[in-house]
Amino acid sequence: MIESTAVSRLDRSVPTLDAWRRDPRDPPTHGQVHKEWLHFSIHAGSAHVLFNVSAMERPAAPDAFTTWRTALLVHTARGWAGAVRNVPARAVAREGPVGVRTPDGSIGYSRGAYHLRAELGGARLDARVRPLVLPTSPSSVSLVRDHAMHWVVVPRGLADGKIVVDEQAFSFCDASTYHDHNWGRFAWGSDLTWDWGHILPEDPSDPWVVVFVRVSSGDRTRALSQGVLVWRRDVNVRTFENREIRFASSGVFRETRMRTFPHLCGLLAPGTASGIPARLDLEASGRVDGLSIHYEPEAACRVAIPADRHPTQITLLNETVGRARVDGLIGADRVAFEAPAIVEFVRAQSS
């Protein structure tokens, strides 16, 4: 893991690998449909925090335009709180390679730590995140034809700070934190869906972290790309790909009242149907390595995004929190742990 004496290594790598590819001052290029976001998940005891700042280029006649979006979603025993808000590009400022500031929140990096601040929908976040692992080199996930998503992952960090929800404060110290940075060219509402998640032990002494992703066609009958990444401490010790992985889901997860963000978009997706399974099972196997992953969501909300080219369609980003069990063998090391997990199920839906 990254010690204080190695902060300089972080200070060299983070501004290069985790830098924004999109600048708010850049004019959009019609038809390129660039998407980019920085995402953080914090497991702060009984509170789970998802914070995201994104740039979304949209094709629109006669010219394309770019909308930025700030999202702060918090789950506690009382349910979901927070909000998702669109921001025009003129209201967004870059502060160094990684830093970005919107009217609702900011992400910064300095001296070996990310600094997160946001205030949305009755929730307020103020956190300092110290990475325990250097950012990965950029890698790619295939999407629809001629399109790909690129990402950089910081799979484990420790967060100190506070989240306030409707005047109830949750302070945390050394809270397990996941971060990734994604960018690429694709259109919301195109023929694709995905299941993505991370499994992150609460105890920093537990060495394992698992991240998985499956990108599928819109009707989920055809897998386009699959991956399971395994870290032991600060080393990515195994990456399973495509034919090494089998996904299986069973049942249907239902909330009595599915919270939708932004709230008005709930009118476009009434009811509780979401495409979220009650259980997700993954089997990843190679010649000598293998993992079994079992995940059951405990709570869910959804973020609605209008399709880029079809105004009668929306894409639902179903965000779930729950627990996962991981069992297997990586090399000579036995893997067996249970931990909090956040899994996102992206589904297209006609309104």
User: What CATH architecture does domain 1-186 belong to?
Assistant: Beta Barrel (2.40)
158: pLDDT strictly greater than 70 = yes
| Residues listed for the chain | 351
Q: What are the extents of the domains in the chain?
A: 1-186, 188-351
148 CB neighbour count, 10 Å cutoff: 16
**Block residue for tokens 């204080």:** 4
How many Å apart are CA 101 and CA 24, to the nearest integer? 11
Q: What is the CATH T-level fold of the domain 188-351, as seen in this structure?
A: AttH-like fold (2.40.370)
Confidence band of 319 (pLDDT split at 50, 70, 90): very high
Does pLDDT of 2 surpass 60? no
C-beta separation of 302 from 316 below 8 A: yes
Task: Give the residue, 78 or 257, on which the prediction is more confident.
Answer: 78
Taking Cα atoms as reference points, which of 266, 278, 281 lies closest to residue 349? 266
Same fold, 1-186 and 188-351: yes
Q: Which residues pair with 123 in a beta bridge?
A: 120, 165
Higher pLDDT residue, 114 or 224? 114
Q: How confident is the model at residue 4 (pLDDT cuts 50, 70, 90)?
A: low
**What count of Cα atoms within 13 Å lies in the side-chain half-sphere of residue 174?**
5
Q: What does pTM read for this prediction?
A: 0.93
* b (16+ CB within 10 A) / e for 79-100: ebbbbbbebebeebeeeeebbb
Task: Taking residues 162-189, report their average pLDDT.
Answer: 92
Residue 282 tokens, joined: 């993954």
pLDDT tier, 80 (very low <50, low <70, confident <90, very high otherwise): very high
Averaged pLDDT of the chain = 88
Mean pLDDT of 125-132: 97
Q: How confident is the model at residue 146 (pLDDT cuts 50, 70, 90)?
A: low
